[in-house]
Amino acid sequence: MPPLITVDLLVFGPHPDDIEIGFGGTVALHTARGFRVGLCDLTRGELGSNGTPEEREREAEAAREVLNASWRVNLQWPDGGIDGGQGQINDVVRLVRQSRPATVAIPYWKDRHPDHRAASDVLARAVFKSGLRRFGPELGDAWRPDWVCYYFINDSAPESFATDISDLYDVKRKALACHRSQFTLVDTGSVATRLTTPQFQQLIESRDALLGARTGVAYAEAVLVREPLLRPHVMKEWTRTPAPR
């Protein structure tokens, strides 16, 4: 893996289109605000019904450009073979220690897809080990992100908070459209799947619109954290002038 610049946010996805499905708007939101974001796909998606691994990597890179992320790497783990072996743990530890993110985003631990569930578990363990100075010193200096956030690809749960991606929603749409081999029937060799139906795009947008409506904006993406959130007060916005005593 070539040297990579450090980033503020590091986002992992099991397959080359998962980040865009669940977290594309949030990536675009942070890059638009000047944060450096790195993206990492664990597999090349070679078990997918459509698209070759080479096509999918090209599509992922095109989506990275749309999202304005600093870099995107693929660890080339076997699709369907995310097992948390020592080599996979080391790959993630090395990447986290090299890129030194303040926040790491990984898939939610419950999902209909076995790879998504497995990825969540392996990534959580590897990010924890990245902060242990006596684990793999040859992999770089220990680095523990400030926190690990989870995002939803398929299944969902009560979120900890939501990000307002309304102004960046067209960017998310364009990033998703880069994955033509997955979301459209591009040639006669393509086969119809759940992803190629118009309803799948509708599913993504309706989920983001529903969370947006619940939080008072047009579109939002869900974020879940395991630890309690500390706030300085119970006021929703710190704009109200306290009443005289």
Domain, as residue range, for 187: 9-223
Domain count, the chain: 1
Q: What is the pLDDT of residue 240?
A: 65
pLDDT tens-digit map of 52-99: 999 999 999 999 999 999 999 999 999 999 999 999 999 999 999 999
Q: Is the residue at 175 inside a domain?
A: yes
Evaluate whether residue 124 is within a structural domain.
yes
pLDDT at position 74 is 98
Both tokens of 194, joined, read 């759940």
Tokens of 73: 């790497």
Give a three-class secondary structure readout of the chain: CCCCCCCCEEEEECCCCHHHHHHHHHHHHHHHCCCCEEEEEEECCCCCCCCCHHHHHHHHHHHHHHHCCCEEEEEEECCCCCCCCHHHHHHHHHHHHHHCCCEEEEECCCCCCHHHHHHHHHHHHHHHHHCCCCCCHHHCCCCCCCEEEEECCCCCCCCCEEEECHHHHHHHHHHHHCCHHHHCCCCCCCCCCCCCCHHHHHHHHHHHHHHHHHHCCCCEEEEECCCCCCCCCCCCCCCCCCCCC
Q: How far is CA 235 from CA 202, 228, 242, in A?
A: 35, 17, 11
CATH no. for residue 40? 3.40.50.10320
Residues of the chain with pLDDT > 90, as a percent, come to 82
31 found inside a domain: yes
DSSP-assigned beta bridge partners for residue 151? 107
d(CA 122, CA 144): 16
pLDDT digits (tens, 9 = 90+) for 145-167: 999 999 999 988 999 999 999 99
Say if 3 falls within a structural domain: no
pLDDT of the residue at 137: 96
**241 belongs to a structural domain:** no
Q: What pLDDT is stored for residue 89 in this prediction?
A: 98
Cα 70 to the center of its chain, rounded Å: 14
pLDDT in tens, 113-155: 999 999 999 999 999 999 999 999 999 999 999 999 999 999 8
Task: Measure the CA–CA gap between 119 and 121, rounded to whole angstroms.
Answer: 5
Q: What is the pLDDT, as a whole number, of residue 2?
A: 65
Q: Please report whether residue 229 resides in a domain.
A: no
**CA-to-CA dists, residue 35 to 27, 38, 213, 221, 234, angstroms:** 9, 10, 27, 18, 28
pLDDT of residue 143: 98
Q: Is residue 16 part of a domain?
A: yes
Give me the residues paired with residue 150 across strands: 106, 224
The predicted model gives 28-50 an average pLDDT of 96
Mean pLDDT (whole number) for 220-242: 85
Q: Quick one: pLDDT band at residue 9, thresholds 50, 70, 90?
A: very high
Position 195 pLDDT exceeds 70: yes
Q: Is residue 234 part of a domain?
A: no
What integer pLDDT is reported at residue 232 of this predicted model? 86
pLDDT confidence of residue 171: 98
Chain segment 201-224, per-residue pLDDT in tens: 999 999 999 999 999 999 999 999
